[in-house]
Chains A and B, each alone.
Chain A
Amino acid sequence: MSRSRHQGVRSLVFIVVLAVASVAWVTVAGHRPLLGLDLQGGVSVILAPTEEASSDSLDQAVAIIRQRVDGLGVAEPEITRQGDTIVVQIPGVDDTERALELVGQTAELRFRPVLSVVEEAQLQAIAGASPTTVVPGATTTTSSSGDATTTTTAGSDSSTTTAPGGATTTIDAPSATDEVGFALVEGELAAAQVASTTVPPTTTAPGATTPPTTTTTTTTTAAAGVPTTTAPDGAAPPTTVPPIDADAILAQYELTAPGADEAEATVVLGEYDDDNNLVRRYELGPAGLTGEALESASATLQGTEWTVLPIFRSGAEGIDAFNGLALQCNGQQPTCPTGQLAITLDSRVVSAPSVNAAQFTRDQVVISGSFDEREARDVALVLNYGALPLELEAQQSQIVSATLGSDALAAGLVAGVVGLLLAALYMILYYRLMGVVAVLSLTVSAGLLWALVCWLGETQGLALTLSGITGIIVSIGVSLDTNVVYYEHVKEDVQHGRTVRSALDRAFSPAFSTIVKANVASIIGAGLLYVLSVGSVRGFALFLGIATVLDLVAAWFFMRPMSMLIARSRLAQERPGILGVGRPREAS
């Protein structure tokens, strides 16, 4: 008995310390529950595709929306996919109308000829430097309309040199010949290519892994020998180049606002790395064609190199339009002086390969470069998305004003506190001392719940909504029920002649078994709701589920040992009536 008493005390200490420590921890760490936008005001939209959509394109749409919302610069927007719908929650945004508009737009994939490119690092250097100190390397690349000829000698992939960052990509027509990297001149050769490429590239490729190798070599040479990097003591060029006007360059490369990114306009768009940092800026000509020209795209391993194989639609809207652009770029005509063709999605440059042939067949286009597998797949995903852009429709949108939000929060809190007090009062009146135990047990699980809600909000971005608060209020009842089930069991045993002490001991395990059965049913209900529903409902189910689990924890670690300790106390021996679980029959 003394051993079990020790265990009881240990368990009590454990749970109380855990509860106090976790509350203290979130308090010290400054974690607070993340309030849903129905409580703090903001915009919430539930979007659904107008047509059947693949999982990939939904994910892509989520990524696009996230970029757009990030552009708004609000704190903690939440964009999640729930089944076939996309839920966007933007708390505390000022221009709600604009936010709504922005989120619902359909993203278009475009092919734009590259007029010029500048590395972001160079641009920053220019911005930082005074106009007289000229960064030599910069001029060669930034002089946009400037001498494309100088950089594109010998038909080599000189354009790739403008992008030393490693994202050098080229569009090749796959062939088994070595000339791949070179600009092939139209007609007959294209025809020849068609002939040679009637054999799928994969079969011919093994013998000639040349396409990748050529590109890699150009890349390496480029990286090594190109003065475009900010090396201030670059070669001769500085002398020939007049001092540049930094302001003019900065103005020239000012990024076009997403709203002004019209297909027909000349725009400046950025390319971003994985961490969403701007890497380089492209000055781009009018879009020659959109993603509609594409049929599909895939990423494949050719030899040792990951490549992307887009397949165009046939006809004027498809491959012909692409070839129109290819011709311009391959010939480095004034409309496409760099020879590069940028693929843009939602005002971002995804990739800007240089075009290595003037004529392509619709299913024989290869985009190669220093892709790793993930990059190649990403580009393929983007192309696929562009081929069938997801048109999203707002199923439900909500703009909650900050005042109404805080009113709702107050209502939820007050209702919760009043409900809690009433229920606690009832428990204490009915079960007396054991009622107090029940209330303490509830306090313990409430402490744990608070810490968990704060923690989830802080680390998982899980917001507490009004429906979540409702779930928690309901869980008060669930928690107290646990105590009721146990106490009534005790009472019944006492009725049948047990002493209070022995009944408190004995009744726990059958009562706990009942509680587990019943709580599991509740958790199943909440779990199903969480998995199968959308939007605010999930908050309700989630927090009800969590509270139910915590209730089991509190019952086991707190209610049980606490009851046992009371059962063994002198008080219980002397005045069993105070326990509120009935008197032994002799006394009645």
Chain B
Amino acid sequence: MGAVGRLLRGESDIDFVRVWRATTAASALAVILSVGALVTGGLNLGIDFEGGVVWEVSAPGVSTEEARDALATVGESGAKIQTVGADVLRVQAGPQTDEESAAVVAVLVDLSGAEAGDVSISTVGPSWGQEITDAAVRALIWFFVVIAAYLTIRLEWRMAVGALSAVVHDIIVSVGVYALFDFEVTPSTLIAFLTILGYSLYDTIVVYDKVRENQARAGTREPSDRLMSRSLNETVMRSINTTITTLLPVGSMLVVGAGIMGAVVLKDFSVALFVGLLLGAYSSFFVAAPVVVLLHARDPQEKARRERAARVDGRAAERDRDVGAPADASPIAERPTVFSTGHPPRPRKQGKRR
């Protein structure tokens, strides 16, 4: 209960500086694996990227084997056949002529006992995927430019760099996840993913904003790694909760909407959202944060701050030895460091209140 209990009470005290060493290695490994998986396995691109036709029909009790046999009679033995949800039969094949498509519809009508009007047909031209990809790349570039500008204005340039590094990390690793698990990439995937980039900044911004707040209180004397670690500790529960409250609806979409009820678009979206959300939560703590610290380390003032902090720590350790209490037994607020930021805060003057 101890650590979790402290976490729940908002008293977590994790030394993120140490944790970063491990996570940076993990992130690097994940990036390398992702690139490797992409190069060796490639992505499983949906018909939208290659051109083709998808037919869907509600066909209770028809197995994919039966469908495969029936479709082979009209020369569609190469088609990809799935059942989605409870009873929807989904057939996917390359580009078709109108006659071929009509033949498939006829077979499906036979199989399912439905009428021709009950068969959904989705046709995609070969250049569509390129168009979608172009649009996505365009959106991504603009996203980077606008977000960089926005964060620089609202926060600072180091944080803009940090946040965007996290985004790049998210992109690479999720592409890796798609390549590794052979998930199908559709335009919905791309789009959901782009959106989640905006959203994955949420956690990062919450953390950064906390840093700024703490910085304003503590002045500039605290070394940035400690400042960051402290801010992360103060926001960890917030990030966990925001992630959970978002993952619950998305997970419901994945399990209930796509899994049980078989809405394919929901699946495309929710898988991408799920992956993106998890990565976004991870990267805000373990990519965005250390990058800012790293950028600060080059600052000449930072060196002075760290030396000073080390001296203070030495004195505190001595004192602790004298008292005979372990340093980390007390909650953060009671720590005898000079940076403990004037909590409890002094009450505001009455006149200031609205």
Residues of A whose CB lies within 8 Å of any CB of B are 1, 4, 7, 38, 46, 48, 85, 94, 96, 393-404, 407-408, 410-412, 414-416, 418-420, 422-423, 426-427, 430, 466-467, 470-471, 473-474, 476-478, 480-481, 484-485, 488-489, 491-493, 495-498, 502, 505-506, 510, 513-514, 517-526, 528-529, 532-537, 540-541, 544, 582, 588
Q: Which residues of B contact A502 (CB under 8 A)?
A: 347
Contact for B202 among A404, A430, A522, A526, CB less than 8 A = A522
Q: Do A495 and B333 touch across chains, with their CB atoms under 8 A apart?
A: yes
Using A396-B125, A521-B147 as known contacts, say yes or no to A423 and B248 having CB atoms under 8 A apart. Answer: yes
Q: How many chain-B residues does the 8 Å CB contact rule pick out?
A: 86
Please report the C-alpha to C-alpha distance between residue A521 and residue B144 in the assembled complex, in whole angstroms.
11
Interface string of B120-149 (1 = CB under 8 A from A): 111111011001100110110011001100
Q: Is the interface of A mostly helix, strand, loop or mixed?
A: helix
Q: How far is the CB of A403 from chain B (nearest CB, A)?
A: 6
Q: Do A466 and B265 touch across chains, with their CB atoms under 8 A apart?
A: yes
The 4 closest A-B pairs by CB, nearest first: A525-B198, A477-B246, A415-B257, A419-B249
Q: Which residues of B contact A521 (CB under 8 A)?
A: 147, 150-151, 198, 201-202, 205
Contact for B265 among A402, A419, A423, A470, CB less than 8 A = A470
Q: Which residues of A contact B142 (CB under 8 A)?
A: 528, 532
Q: Do A419 and B195 touch across chains, with their CB atoms under 8 A apart?
A: no
Please report the C-alpha to C-alpha distance between residue A399 and residue B85 in the assembled complex, in whole angstroms.
19
Q: Do A488 and B191 touch across chains, with their CB atoms under 8 A apart?
A: no
Please report the C-alpha to C-alpha distance between residue A525 and residue B151 in the assembled complex, in whole angstroms.
13
Q: Do A534 and B263 touch across chains, with their CB atoms under 8 A apart?
A: no
Q: Which residues of B contact A529 (CB under 8 A)?
A: 139, 191, 194-195
Q: How far is the CB of B141 from chain A (nearest CB, A)?
A: 10
Q: Do A414 and B261 touch across chains, with their CB atoms under 8 A apart?
A: yes
- Give the most central of B123, B127, B188, B265: most A CB within 10 Å: B265
Q: Which residues of B contact A498 (CB under 8 A)?
A: 344-345
**13 A-B contacts, Cβ less than 8 Å apart?**
A393-B125, A396-B125, A414-B261, A416-B253, A418-B256, A419-B250, A466-B266, A470-B192, A476-B245, A481-B245, A497-B343, A528-B198, A582-B10
Q: How far is the CB of B275 from chain A (nearest CB, A)?
A: 14
Q: Which residues of A contact B249 (CB under 8 A)?
A: 415-416, 419-420, 422-423, 473-474, 476-477
Q: Which residues of B contact A541 (CB under 8 A)?
A: 191, 195
Using A412-B263, A492-B10 as known contacts, say yes or no to A540 and B246 having CB atoms under 8 A apart. Answer: no
Q: Do A414 and B154 touch across chains, with their CB atoms under 8 A apart?
A: no
Please report the C-alpha to C-alpha distance between residue A540 and residue B118 in the assembled complex, in whole angstroms.
26
Q: How far is the CB of A438 from chain B (nearest CB, A)?
A: 9
Q: Do B147 and A524 touch across chains, with their CB atoms under 8 A apart?
A: yes
Q: Do B244 and A426 touch across chains, with their CB atoms under 8 A apart?
A: yes
> Which chain B residues numbered 56 to 75 have a C-beta less than 8 Å away from chain A?
56-58
Q: Do A474 and B131 touch across chains, with their CB atoms under 8 A apart?
A: no
Using A394-B125, A395-B125, A412-B257 as known contacts, say yes or no to A540 and B117 having CB atoms under 8 A apart. Answer: no
Q: Which residues of B contact A410 (CB under 8 A)?
A: 261
Using A400-B120, A517-B154, A534-B135 as known contacts, say yes or no to A474 and B257 having CB atoms under 8 A apart. Answer: no
Q: Which residues of A contact B266 (CB under 8 A)?
A: 408, 411-412, 415, 466, 470
Q: Do B238 and A488 touch across chains, with their CB atoms under 8 A apart?
A: yes
Q: Do A484 and B209 touch across chains, with their CB atoms under 8 A apart?
A: no
Chain A residue with the shortest CB-CB distance to B188: A467
> Which chain B residues numbered 212 to 266 have a C-beta less than 8 Å away from chain A?
213, 234-235, 237-238, 241-242, 244-253, 256-258, 261-263, 265-266
Chain A residue with the shortest CB-CB distance to B333: A496
Q: Is B88 an interface residue (CB 8 A)?
A: yes
Using A414-B261, A484-B241, A518-B205 as known contacts, say yes or no to A404 and B353 having CB atoms under 8 A apart. Answer: no
Q: Do B11 and A495 touch across chains, with their CB atoms under 8 A apart?
A: yes
Q: Do B209 and A399 touch across chains, with their CB atoms under 8 A apart?
A: no
Please report the C-alpha to C-alpha distance between residue A485 and residue B241 in the assembled complex, in whole angstroms.
9
Q: Which residues of B contact A427 (CB under 8 A)?
A: 245
Q: Do B245 and A480 touch across chains, with their CB atoms under 8 A apart?
A: yes
Q: Which residues of A contact B237 (CB under 8 A)?
A: 488, 491
What would 16 more interface pairs be, CB under 8 Å, given A46-B128, A525-B147, A525-B194? A404-B57, A412-B257, A419-B250, A423-B245, A470-B253, A471-B195, A476-B249, A484-B245, A485-B238, A521-B151, A521-B198, A522-B201, A526-B198, A534-B132, A534-B135, A541-B191
Contact for B131 among A394, A395, A525, CB less than 8 A = A395
Q: Do B143 and A534 touch across chains, with their CB atoms under 8 A apart?
A: no
Q: Which residues of A contact B114 (CB under 8 A)?
A: 403
Q: How far is the CB of A400 from chain B (nearest CB, A)?
A: 5
Please report the C-alpha to C-alpha distance between residue A403 and residue B116 in the assembled complex, in whole angstroms.
12
Q: Is B348 an interface residue (CB 8 A)?
A: yes
Q: How far is the CB of A146 from chain B (nearest CB, A)?
A: 46
Chain B residue with the shortest CB-CB distance to A495: B10
Q: Do B125 and A540 touch across chains, with their CB atoms under 8 A apart?
A: no
Q: Do B242 and A474 touch across chains, with their CB atoms under 8 A apart?
A: no
Q: Which residues of B contact A408 (CB under 8 A)?
A: 263, 265-266
Q: Is B298 an interface residue (CB 8 A)?
A: no
Using A477-B249, A491-B10 as known contacts, say yes or no to A398 and B197 having CB atoms under 8 A apart. Answer: no
